[in-house]
Amino acid sequence: MIIANKYKWILIILISWIFVAASSAQAQVDYTAKALKKEIEKCWGLDINDLIQIDIDADIPAEGRFFTTVRPTTKYVYVGRVNSCRTGGCAISSEGSGTSEYFDYFILFDERANVELVKIFNYAATHGHEVMAKGWLKQFIDFNNQTELIVGKDVDTISGATVSVNAIAEDIRQKTYLLGKYLNLKVLSVK
């Protein structure tokens, strides 16, 4: 009986440790993702080590960072995480913690905060994978916050990926706004 209780507690501790390790593993965004390295080299002819982190706004969650480069011209990169609730709902606090599904992505911007490329590189949600399609993500190219970004009007909807579509469109709009504000560009207000 004592031996059985001992193994029971060891099993409980082991399972708890696995859950803690799994949850902490998904807490970090990979700011040097292979996909980001590839796109920076392909689009700009730069190495990821040419990027310099910049502080744009204190309100950006810890799950996102802006970077810049000045060689050969000034460009900007945002790498971050979008928390997207399951269709049945979720419990995300204002700090981005809580139970949710998520995906990590990056935006490449030119010197005037125009979107050059959006790419999702880590999709950890169970539904809505269609938002990863290059063809669908191309619709964000040239977005510069001088126009609205409304799902169903400016952004194509995807049946079965409603939550992910709305989440990424809103995040792109917010990050483009923040970069435009940082660069002192005329920007539409965030609602």
List the one residue out of 41, 190, 172, 171 whose CA is nearest residue 114.
172
Q: Which carries the bigger pLDDT value, residue 82 or residue 18?
A: 82
Instruction: Tell me whether the omega of the peptide bond preceding residue 72 falls within 30 degrees of 0, making it cis.
Output: yes
User: Where do the domains of the chain lie?
Assistant: 1-28, 31-182
Per-residue pLDDT reduced to its tens digit, 120-132: 999 887 778 899 9
Lowest-confidence segment of 34-43, 84-93, 125-134 by average pLDDT: 84-93
pLDDT of residue 108: 97
Cα radius of gyration (the chain)? 19
Calculate mean pLDDT across residues 47-64.
82
Quick check: 14 pLDDT over 60? no
pLDDT of residue 3: 58
Q: Beta-strand (E) ranges in the chain? A: 52-54, 64-69, 75-84, 91-92, 98-99, 101-109, 115-123
**What percentage of residues in the chain have a pLDDT greater than 90?**
45
User: What CA–CA distances, in Å, run from 42 to 18, 158, 174?
Assistant: 38, 29, 26
Per-residue pLDDT reduced to its tens digit, 127-176: 788 999 999 999 999 999 788 889 999 999 998 888 889 999 999 999 99
List, in order, residues 6 or more apart from 5 with CB less than 8 Å away: none
Give the separation between CA 80 and CA 66, rounded to whole angstroms. Answer: 9
pLDDT of residue 166: 92
Calculate mean pLDDT across residues 5-32.
61
Lowest-confidence segment of 7-11, 15-19, 47-51, 100-104 by average pLDDT: 15-19
pLDDT of residue 22: 45
Give the separation between CA 167 and CA 82, rounded to whole angstroms. Answer: 7
